[in-house]
Chains A and B, each alone.
Chain A
């Protein structure tokens, strides 16, 4: 009872701070300086139509590299903590319905295609690497659900992840050598605005990020589903 009372008092204090923040907030009438810079220079510098994509991949690309590294660390630690049992796991064999199995065979190619579409078109429409990677991971999850007795191909997932990470940093270094700086996207021609082969190296970088993030999410879920059953 006292624990709840103390928690309530603490949250009441936080609540007064939040109320003060809301009351003192007025939205700006126009964009601030950095947003105006991004809005004006996106087409000229990068040739992309999606400003958020241009910020994530090109203008602040080093932060994205750090985020992908943090995700990689997360997947590695989850696999380590759950003590991935390579052998000696008895496969759970509950009866999987026929509807799920047939539906999976029909749906998984479509989901993979949709995920690839989302991260290839990241610079033109809302979308990009993280969303496409999450969609790819859900296709892998559907495979896991429909066939729980199958040994999952960890080799393939870790190879995809390692290779795409290597190519991502390789493209960054190529930007150092051929164009303005690390992860510059002008190593490929900017192309015309609005077509799919435009915006330099942004589709390539985002596709690699999408594959890497999808592989990491799949690895987390495979570790969780293969941990030892009591």
Chain B
């Protein structure tokens, strides 16, 4: 098992754990924690896809061409964006959770039965 398989496997397991937490909890704050863990796992998988063994970070040290000594830089640029947007989504979820608590007095989703018929 190489480092790449280890990182990818860990990322997938984190996605599964986060989704399980988001699906079975009743408290809104714990659901949001589950989503955060799943997002971290997804970013880990994306970086692991771009990793080539025995190569170094994509930062040039001189103008010499280094196309055979660096890892793939494109997934890193994409994951940078994904992390920042993940924070934005978490902030929105938390603002809505706060509003629900202010309106209903509880954070338990089984007690929010306004739309049930």
Contacts and interface: CB of A to CB of B under 8 A. Distances in A.
Interface of A: 3-4, 7-8, 10-11, 14-15, 18, 21-22, 25, 27-28, 30-32, 34-36, 38-40, 42-43, 49-52, 55-56, 60, 63-64, 67, 70-71, 74, 77-78, 81-82, 125-126, 130, 193, 213, 217, 220, 223-224, 227-228, 230
B88 A125 contact: no
Contacts, number: 127
Return the 10 tightest CB-CB contacts between A and B, nearest first.
A74-B88, A18-B12, A39-B67, A7-B23, A51-B58, A55-B77, A51-B73, A35-B72, A78-B95, A81-B95
B99 interface: yes
Contacts of A125: 59
A198 to B, nearest CB: 11
15 contacts: A7-B20, A18-B16, A22-B12, A31-B52, A31-B68, A31-B72, A42-B60, A49-B61, A51-B73, A55-B77, A56-B80, A74-B92, A78-B91, A82-B95, A224-B98
A74 B9 CA distance: 32
Interface in B39-79: 49, 51-53, 57-63, 65-68, 70, 72-74, 76-77
Interface residues of B, number: 48
Nearest to A3: B24
A130 B77 CA distance: 12
A213 B84 contact: yes
B113 interface: no
Contact of A51 (B19, B70, B96): B70
Nearest to A74: B88
A171 to B, nearest CB: 20
A10 B72 CA distance: 33
Which of B4, B9, B60, B102 lies at the interface centre, i.e. has the most chain A CB atoms within 10 A of its CB?
B60
B24 A7 contact: yes
Nearest to B5: A22
Given A15-B12, A22-B9, 12 more contacts: A14-B19, A21-B12, A25-B49, A27-B53, A31-B70, A52-B59, A52-B76, A77-B95, A81-B99, A82-B95, A213-B84, A224-B91
A7 B83 CA distance: 26
Given A22-B8, A35-B72, A15 B16 contact: yes
A130 B23 CA distance: 31
A39 B74 CA distance: 10
B91 A220 contact: yes
B24 to A, nearest CB: 5
A171 B60 CA distance: 26
